[in-house]
């Protein structure tokens, strides 16, 4: 079953028509609101270079899991 989603609000304009595979391989600053400077800081601090790296980073995943658990109790 095909799934579609409007990613326009999540991505910079040049990445809106990319496939999910292309987005995951894109640099972090492909995400709307993430500047090239932000991306460089993420690279230096966490070795995050791509959207996929960010989504798979153990620290960000742990923080997301904790927030999800907390929010599910509300």
DSSP per position, 17-61: TS-HHHHHHSBGGGBTT--HHHHHHHHHHH---BHHHHHH-HHHH
DSSP-assigned letter for residue 11: B
Distance CA 14, CA 54 (A): 19
Q: Provide mean pLDDT across the span 13-17.
A: 95
φ and ψ at residue 19, rounded to 5 degrees: -75, 165
φ and ψ at residue 26, rounded to 5 degrees: -75, 155
Per-residue pLDDT reduced to its tens digit, 18-48: 999 999 999 999 999 999 999 999 999 999 9
DSSP-assigned letter for residue 33: T
What is the reported pTM?
0.87
2, pLDDT greater than 70: no
């Amino acid at each position: 079953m095909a799934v579609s989603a409007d990613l326009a609000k999540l991505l910079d304009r040049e990445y809106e028509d990319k496939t999910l595979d292309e987005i995951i391989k894109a640099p972090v600053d492909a995400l709307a609101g993430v500047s090239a400077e932000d991306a460089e800081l993420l690279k230096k601090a966490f070795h995050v270079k791509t959207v996929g790296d960010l989504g798979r980073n153990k620290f960000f995943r742990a923080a997301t899991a904790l927030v999800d658990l907390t929010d599910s109790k509300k």
